[in-house]
Structures are given as structure tokens and as C-alpha cells.
Amino acid sequence: MGKKILIVEDESTIADIIAFNLGREGFETQTAYDGGEGLRMALEDAPDLILLDVMLPVKDGFEVCKQVRAQSDVPIIMLTAREEESDKVTGLELGADDYVTKPFSMRELIARVRANMRRTAPAQPAAAGDLRVLTGALSMSEDKSEIYKNGKPLDLSVREFDILTFLASMPDKVFSREELMEKVWGYEYYGDLRAVDVAIRRLREKLEDNPAQPQYIVTKRGMGYYLASQP
Ligand code: CA
């Protein structure tokens, strides 16, 4: 069965085009035309990914994002208007995984959907023996694509997981924001570099004992970020 995508978009022509193109790629789609309906469907129908417009009747996309994120780690891609530069960061701050700027090409949208689609089942305890230590109290299960701290699964988005495993592939090596965007988001992604900082901050909130004094993901001033081999 195809992965299920919830489209929350009040402009029915846009919603229809998206649904048609995703359907052709083998995804199942559902559409909500306002934020209230979108929130209800996001929580009740358990989609595999949500495409969420910002300007919506009843509840705006930010409010929906915040409320969904309080209960679910389903990947969320915001559909933002090009002129609203601040919308991108606001969405990321509220827990969206990514954004696509309108007008977007279907090719771009589908690539972004695939990149953000959750590859794993919900977090569950790892079987002993399946774990590989990344650094300090962090370990990873290759089978489940999960990362654990002291044996407890961390509730990471796909993007956060990708950043952490990328940094862990070369501990103590400093990567600039540009490098992280290229390696983790993909070179075709012409995103805002602040997306890297927001993602790192969210990641720290999830894995650091004290996010204000990070021991795992360390900032090298003026250079970038690295994962400490000895946190
Ligand atoms: Ca709209």
C-alpha cells in the first residue's frame, strides 16, 4: 500500500494538482481545505507525511504545525509564500521538517516529499546487540534507523536523524553550515542557512543534558558544528 500524504491547502486547484501528481507517483493522498479539518485528519488518520499551507482558514498552518507536533513526529513540509521570508524559519521553529516555497515545481515537491518521508517504524526499544555506540551515551540501531540516549529512543525527525548520523560519520570534524546543507539537505536544495541552525537547536534540545551548554553537538565559532567524540 502506498504511503499516505495529507495535503492541507485551501486553494483547491493547487491541492488537486498536488494530489494528482503524488497519486501518479504511487502515494495515497487526502486533502483538508482548512486548518481545523487538517488538524483533525493529521491526528486521526495518521498520515505518513503532511504538506501544510501557511495561510489557511479556521487555523493557520503554524498553529496546525504546533498542535500536530505536540502529539506526533510525522514529517511536516510547510508550503510557504516566497515573499514571506520569515515564514520559513517560523515553521521550522514550530517543528516543521522542511518547507517548499510557492510557486514550486511538482518535481521539486516530490523530491522533497521523498527526502522527508519517514523511513522507520515508530520508536521502540532496541534489541541488545543491535546497538552501535556513536559517542558518549548515544547509540544507534542500524536495523531500526533509530538513535538512543542511554538506551532510550530519541524522537528525531528524518532531518535530525540525518544530521546526527552525518556528523557521527566523522566525529570531531567541523562542518560549516554550507557543508551541512549540501550533505544533509542535498545539493539541489537552495535553502536558507538558518534552517541548519534551527535544526541543530532542535536536535540539541532532544539530546543534550543542557541544551544551553551542548556537550555532543558543539559549535566551533565562525566555522560550524561537530559531534564531540568525548562529550
Ligand atoms: Ca492558502
CA distance 64 to 210: 28
d(CA 221, ligand 1 centre) in Å = 39
DSSP string of 127-174? Answer: PTTSEEEEETTEEEETTTTEEEETTEEP---HHHHHHHHHHHHSTT--
Report the mean per-residue pLDDT for the chain: 88
d(CA 103, ligand 1 centre) in Å = 12
Output the pLDDT for position 118: 56
- Section 109-115 average pLDDT: 88
Output the pLDDT for position 120: 43
d(CA 91, ligand 1 centre) in Å = 15
Kindly list the protein residues that place their beta carbon closer than 5 angstroms to ligand 1, a single-atom ion.
Answer: 10, 53, 55
Res 51 pLDDT > 50 = yes
Output the pLDDT for position 99: 87
Strand, coil or helix: 42: helix
Output the pLDDT for position 121: 44
Res 129 pLDDT > 90 = no
Q: Chain-centre distance of CA 214, in angstroms?
A: 21
